[in-house]
Amino acid sequence: MSTRVKRAYRYRFCPTDAQAAELSRTFGCVRKVYNLALAARTEAWVTRQERVSYHQTSAMLTAWKKTGELAYLNEVSSVPLQQTLRHLQTAFTHFFGKRANYPRFKSRKTSRRSAEYTTSAFRSRDGKLTRAKMTEPLDIVWSRPLPEGTSPSTVTVSQDSAGRWFVSLLCEDPSVKPLPATGQAVGADVGLEHHLTLSTGEKITSPRHERRDRAAPARQQRRPAKKEKGSANRARARLKVAKIHARVADRRRDSLHKLTTRLVREDRTIVIEDLAVRNMVKNRKLARAISDAAWGEFRRMLEYKAPWYGREVIAVDRWFPSSGLCSACNTLRDTMPLHVRTWTCDCATTHDRDVNAAHNLLAAEPAVTVCGAGVRPQRSTPDGQSATKQKPSRREP
C-alpha cells in the first residue's frame, strides 16, 4: 500500500468585506458556468446525439467571456471556472458509468457555495494563504497544523447555509501509515437505540444529536414564516435556523469521526451490513431517527479510513437475516418484528437481537471474503432441514 495519502484539512476563516464580496461573485460565476455547460451538453445530446467533452466546454468558456452579456466572468479567477467544468465532466463520467443520476442544474438558494483553486491560483507561505485576484491573505483560524513539510495541492473555499466560511487544503500526509496487524475481526451492527453493537458484546449508545436539539429548531423554524418574504428580518430568522442545524451536524460528524477512527485502529477487519438507507428512510415513522443516526456517513468514513491504516471493511448482503438467525445452531426464525429485542431459540439459547446480529455478521465474513457479498452461511429450520433455498425475511434496523 502506498503511504502517500492525501487528506483535506478544513479551517474556518473570517473574510473582510471586500474578500466576501469577491468570493460571492466567484461562487455565482462558478454556478453560472456549470449551468451553461450542462445546458450545452444536454442540448447537444438531445438534438444531435452528440457527446460534448471537457475540452469543448473549455473552448465555450473562452467564447462566453468575449460576449458582452457574460463579460463579468473575466472579473474572477479563471481557475475555479475551469475546475467546475472538470467537476461536470466527472459527473457525466459517473452517469455514463451508471454510478450516478444525470447531473442537475445548480440553484442559487440550495446549491453548495464553493470554488476550487489549484496551485497556479493561490500562494501559501509562512502560514498565510493568498488567492488569485486578492491582495490580502485570508484570516484563517489554524485550529491544527498542516503536516510538516507539505504544501496544499488544491484549496477549496466554501460558505455553508449558516454563513460560516471555510477553506479546505488538500495535502499529502506522510504520518498516515498502515498500523500493525492485529489479526482481529469484529462484526458491527448499526441500530437506533444503540448506534453500534459489536460482536464483542459492547454497545455504543446513540448520541441522538437531532433529538437533543429538536425543540430549538422547531421554535425557530416558525419565525421565518411570520416575516415578510424577501425582508432582512426573514433572512436573519432563516440564518438562526441554519446555525442550529449546523451545530447538530457538527456534533454528529465529530462523534462519527471518533467512532470510525477507533474501529479502524483496533480491528483488522470490520464486518458491516450493506443497508439500503435511501429506501429505509421512506418509513415515515423511522425516517427522522435513521437520518439522525447517519448510517451512510458512518460507512463512508469507515471505507475511506480503512485503507489508510491497512484495514478492511466487508459489507454483507443486505438480505442476510442477521437478526433472526440463531448464532448458536443456525436456526432461522420466520419473522422478527422490530419490537422484539430479545428472543429464545429452540436450542434454549437466549439472544440479544443486536448482539446476535453482530455475531452472525462476523460469522459471514469468511464466506463473503472468498465468494462475494451475496453468499449466506448455511442455516437450518427448527425441524433440522436445510433452509438455504428459503427466502429470508428482510431485517429491520
Q: Which residues are catalytic?
A: 189, 273, 354
Residue 188 half-sphere exposure toward CB, CA atoms < 13 A: 28
Contact 142, 128 (CB under 8 A): no
Report residue 340 CA to chain centroid gap. Answer: 31
Q: How far is CA 377 from CA 100, 270, 369, in A?
A: 32, 18, 12
Phi, psi torsion values for 298, nearest 5 degrees:
-60, -45
Contact 359, 369 (CB under 8 A): no
Contact 298, 255 (CB under 8 A): no
Query: CA 57 to CA 34: how far, in whole Å?
Result: 10
Sequence-ordered list of residues with C-beta below 8 angstroms from that of 44, at least 6 positions apart, any chain: 50, 51, 52
Alpha-helical segments (H) within the chain: 17-48, 54-65, 78-96, 209-212, 215-221, 232-266, 277-280, 287-293, 295-305, 353-371
Element (H, E) at 145: none
Q: What type of residue sits at position 35?
A: N
312-316 and 269-273 strand pairing: parallel
CB atoms within 10 A of CB 367: 16
320-344 core/surface letters (b: 16 or more CB in 10 A; e: else): bbbbbbbbeebbbbeebeeeeeebe
Residues found in the chain: 397
